[in-house]
């Protein structure tokens, strides 16, 4: 790790997410409401800018974006439509998704300037691919931020610790040697991708690293996979920027995850990533639906603010 004095960590917040909300759905605005008490009042808060169409088109195909925007536009106020069996949109979802993507870009920009940043946003993104949204995700926030960063730096690593494999992120960069995608996730779980033999294709061969763990994995299993797989692969790649797809749905109390991590474990794995980073990381919120999610966010922010 480079030892220098950094500006304090900042938070990028997407106020537009309140308009992408279906009460009772796991991915609702209640997630942010539960996190908010754990966001230190002393941290600088930056409102999320809207991502531009150029930003979105670096990752998503125009046909998909047009279909998504049209579906949102046709929603009546207070109603919702289905993108798939898990994923809804409302009349405000397009702006909410553009705000989440813009927040991820802003976090990457802060990190490149030497300041750790966490985009505490929704809707999440890592399941969204070039031509589809799925799994609660509309646009791939982390991938959009990485594509933006690649206009400014040579190499970006995306480390995804969400309990679900980020199939969309993998798909987007599967043939690229400029993005290292590393994912630790629950094996044989939604969406069914992320096997160790999925390593990339063409120029991207070897730049996708999947480390599935069995259901019920705890601290020791996660620490081992980071120390033996994720951290060495990232250090060898030597990225100019690390973006973390930060999903905390592997907490023991998460209703969707089936893993057994504790909040303080997320501070530990954040420390491991920071230990090999040239610049502070940019974190982008993915999943996390349990009561201890806010506490885990607090542990992550404590590490970022002290580094």
In a domain, 1, yes or no: no
| Whether the predicted pLDDT of 2 surpasses 50 | no
Residues 6+ apart with CB under 8 A from 296: 248, 251, 261, 263, 265, 266, 288
pTM above 0.95, yes or no: yes
Q: Which residue's structure tokens are 């809707």?
A: 123
Q: How many domains does the chain have?
A: 1
Active site residues: 127
In a domain, 16, yes or no: yes
In a domain, 5, yes or no: no
What pLDDT does 307 receive? Answer: 72
* Confidence class for position 6, pLDDT limits 50, 70, 90: low
**CATH number, domain with residue 84:** 3.40.800.20
Tokens of 250: 């592997």
How far is the C-alpha of 75 from the C-alpha of 92, rounded, in Å?
Answer: 9
Q: Both ends of the chain: CA-CA distance in Å?
A: 10
In the chain, which residue ranges form alpha helices assigned H by DSSP? 30-35, 53-57, 62-73, 93-112, 141-149, 167-173, 219-225, 231-237, 263-274, 293-306
What pLDDT does 247 receive? Answer: 98
Burial of residue 67 (CB within 10 Å: 0-12, 13-18, 19+) is: middle
Q: What value does the mean pLDDT of the chain take? A: 97
In a domain, 164, yes or no: yes
Rg (Cα) of the chain, in Å, rounded?
A: 17
How far is the C-alpha of 229 from the C-alpha of 66, rounded, in Å?
Answer: 39
In a domain, 154, yes or no: yes
* Confidence class for position 306, pLDDT limits 50, 70, 90: confident
pLDDT in tens, 87-108: 999 999 999 999 999 999 999 9
What pLDDT does 5 receive? Answer: 60
Domain that holds residue 284: 10-306
| Whether the predicted pLDDT of 185 surpasses 50 | yes
pLDDT in tens, 131-146: 999 999 999 999 999 9
Describe the crossing of helices 93-112 and 62-73 by its angle, rounded to 10 degrees: 130
In a domain, 4, yes or no: no
């Amino acid at each position: 790790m480079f030892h220098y004095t950094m500006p304090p960590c900042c938070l990028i917040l997407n106020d537009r997410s309140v308009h992408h909300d279906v009460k009772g759905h796991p991915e609702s605005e209640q997630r942010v409401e539960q996190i908010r008490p754990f966001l230190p009042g002393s941290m600088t808060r930056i409102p999320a800018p809207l991502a531009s169409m150029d930003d979105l088109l670096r990752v998503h195909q125009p046909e998909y974006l047009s279909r998504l925007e049209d579906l949102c536009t046709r929603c009546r106020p207070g109603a919702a439509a289905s993108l798939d069996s898990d994923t809804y949109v409302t009349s405000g979802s397009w702006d909410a998704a553009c705000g989440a993507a813009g927040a991820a870009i802003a976090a990457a920009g802060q990190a490149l300037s030497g300041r750790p940043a966490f985009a505490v946003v929704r809707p999440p993104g890592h399941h969204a691919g070039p031509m589809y949204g799925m799994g609660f995700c509309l646009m791939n926030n982390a991938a959009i931020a990485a594509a933006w960063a690649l206009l400014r730096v040579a190499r970006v690593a995306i480390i995804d610790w969400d309990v679900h494999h980020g199939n969309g992120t993998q798909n987007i960069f599967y043939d690229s040697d400029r993005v290292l995608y590393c994912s630790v996730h629950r094996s044989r779980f939604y969406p069914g991708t992320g096997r160790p033999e999925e390593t990339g294709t063409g120029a991207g061969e070897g730049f996708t690293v999947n480390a599935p763990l069995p259901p019920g994995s705890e601290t020791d299993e996660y620490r081992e996979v980071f120390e033996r797989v994720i951290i060495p692969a990232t250090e060898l790649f030597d990225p100019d920027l690390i973006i973390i797809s930060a999903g905390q749905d592997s907490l023991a109390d998460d209703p969707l995850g089936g893993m057994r991590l504790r909040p303080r474990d997320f501070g530990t794995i954040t420390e491991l990533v920071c230990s090999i980073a040239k610049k502070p990381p940019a974190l982008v919120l993915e999943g996390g639906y349990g009561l201890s999610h806010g506490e885990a966010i607090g542990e992550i922010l404590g590490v970022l603010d002290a580094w």
